[in-house]
Amino acid sequence: MRPAIVSPFLAAAAAVLLASPAARATVTVVVNSVPIQRLNQDNSTAATHGMPTGSQGLNYADCATDVKVRFTVTMAGLPDPGSYVQAWAGPSDCAPQAARTAATAACWPVYSANVAQATASTIDINVQDIVAQAGLTSTGLNLTYARATKADCATAATRIPGEATLGIYFVVVPAAGGDGASVNQPFKVKLAGPAAPTGVSLSEGDGLLNVNWTPAADSTTQGFAVYTDPPVSGGDAGASAGDAGLCSSAVLSSGTPAADLGAYLATTASGSTSVSATLTGLKNGTTYNVAVAAKDSYDNTGPLSALSSSTCGTPAAIDDFWKKYHEAGGTAGGDCAVAAPGASLADPWVSYGAAGALVVLGAALARRRS
């Protein structure tokens, strides 16, 4: 018996061949899995994070914001009318019954119900349920489905700080129990961000702060996020806002996971070797506390750098050359630069490049004549 084609729209299908020695029949479980639908609990499309594994990557934000992934499971030709499908997660195959029993369990249930043989069934699996028990030993696993919570995200992050591969196993369980067969949808999971930068220091300018830091040695670092309290656009709402000289912030306490600090995000710097950023749009005379966190390729944000007296600064007006020149009586400026058509006058390199190109062209023509 050939595998049943359930739907032409099941672009990526995984087939499980259940070899029934008695019937010699082939049955199929088809899982609509690529691309994986990532949804919020209200079924709106969840944010993506630019992870290297695309929709098959899960990060801390997916867990903390309670994203779910959606599958369509269709069974056809199962020899045992009473068999059903369960969804389990684990680092290895959950098909053997032993992998789902207390003694040597390596898997944990991620769906509350048994999926009976039927037409296509939609199964939503919560990321929190997928990662909640990751990294636990068999003796610590809860083999009865229980809805995980946001708190489980943080505890799981401490158990699996690096990248891990977890599979969701759709296990066909015979009515009589025992070993089943499974379709596996693997996920790359990384829940913890890189270690915090050290040596954060500031220098002050006119409505700006230049921030410098030393990245921690962490191969997963892909960039940095810089936070200020008070926030750049938030006026004096922060803990230490406007209190000149007060260098403390309850919001930016060292080590706090920065995932919920979006309102305090001042800027980001890409690249694992970035060591500085310039914060602009700040208010002169307001003291800002600054903390830096590293980000990884999964878009996880690591812990914040420590606050100190060198991590708070107060922007103030400056006298740059242009101001000094005009205050001394100079009247130049503001006229049009010579620019290529369509080029921004703010970029003299364009004009310069055009002039250079003309010189080179002239030289080439002269040489050709020779």
Residues 181-210, one symbol each (x = binds another protein by CB under 8 A, - = not), give ---------------------xxxxxxxxx
Q: Does 280 bind another protein (CB under 8 A)?
A: yes
Binding of another protein at residue 348 (CB under 8 A)?
A: yes
| SS3 assignment for 113-149 | CCEECCCCEEEEEEHHHHHCCCCCCHHHCCCCCCCCC
Stretch that binds another protein, among 70-78, 158-166, 289-297, 340-348 (CB under 8 A): 340-348
Compute CA distances 285 → 82, 201, 240, 279, 315, whole Å.
73, 18, 13, 15, 6
CB atoms within 10 A of CB 152: 18
Q: Least distance (Å) from another protein to the CB of residue 145? A: 55
Q: Does 329 bind another protein (CB under 8 A)?
A: yes
> Is position 351 an interface residue for another protein (rule: CB under 8 A)?
yes
Question: Could you say which of 103, 176, 217, 336 contacts another protein (CB under 8 A)?
Answer: 336
Residue 27 or 211 having the CB closest to another protein: 211
Residue 322 binds another protein, judged by CB under 8 A:
yes
Q: Does 278 engage in binding with another protein (CB under 8 A)?
A: yes
Binding residues with another protein: total (CB under 8 A): 52
Using rule CB under 8 A, residue 5 touches another protein: no
340 binds another protein (CB under 8 A): no
CA distances from 188 to 55, 134, 145 (A): 10, 12, 22
Strand partners, 183: 170
Instruction: Name which position in 177, 331, 341, 342 contacts another protein (CB under 8 A).
Output: 331
**Smallest separation, CB 365 to another protein (Å):** 8
Query: According to the binding rule CB under 8 A, does residue 324 interact with another protein?
Result: yes
Residues near 352 by Cβ (< 8 Å), separated by ≥ 6? none
Of the pair 161, 207, the CB lying nearest another protein is at 207
CA nearest to 266, candidates 218, 315, 219, 217 = 315
177 binds another protein (CB under 8 A): no
Tokens of 38: 């990532």
| Min separation Cβ 146 and another protein, Å | 53
Q: Which residue has the tokens 């729209």?
A: 9
Binding residue for another protein (CB under 8 A) from 326, 340, 341, 342? Answer: 326
Backbone angles phi, psi at 186, to 5 degrees: -80, 150
Residue 229: exposure state from Cβ atoms within 10 A (0-12, 13-18, ≥19): buried
Indicate whether 243 belongs to the interface with another protein (CB under 8 A): no
- Told to check if 316 binds another protein by CB under 8 A, we report yes
* DSSP result, 215-254: --S-TTEEEEEEEEES-TTSTT-STTTT-TT----STT-T
Residues that bind another protein (CB under 8 A): 202-210, 278, 280, 284-285, 316-338, 345-346, 348, 351-352, 355-356, 358-360, 362-363, 366-367, 369-370
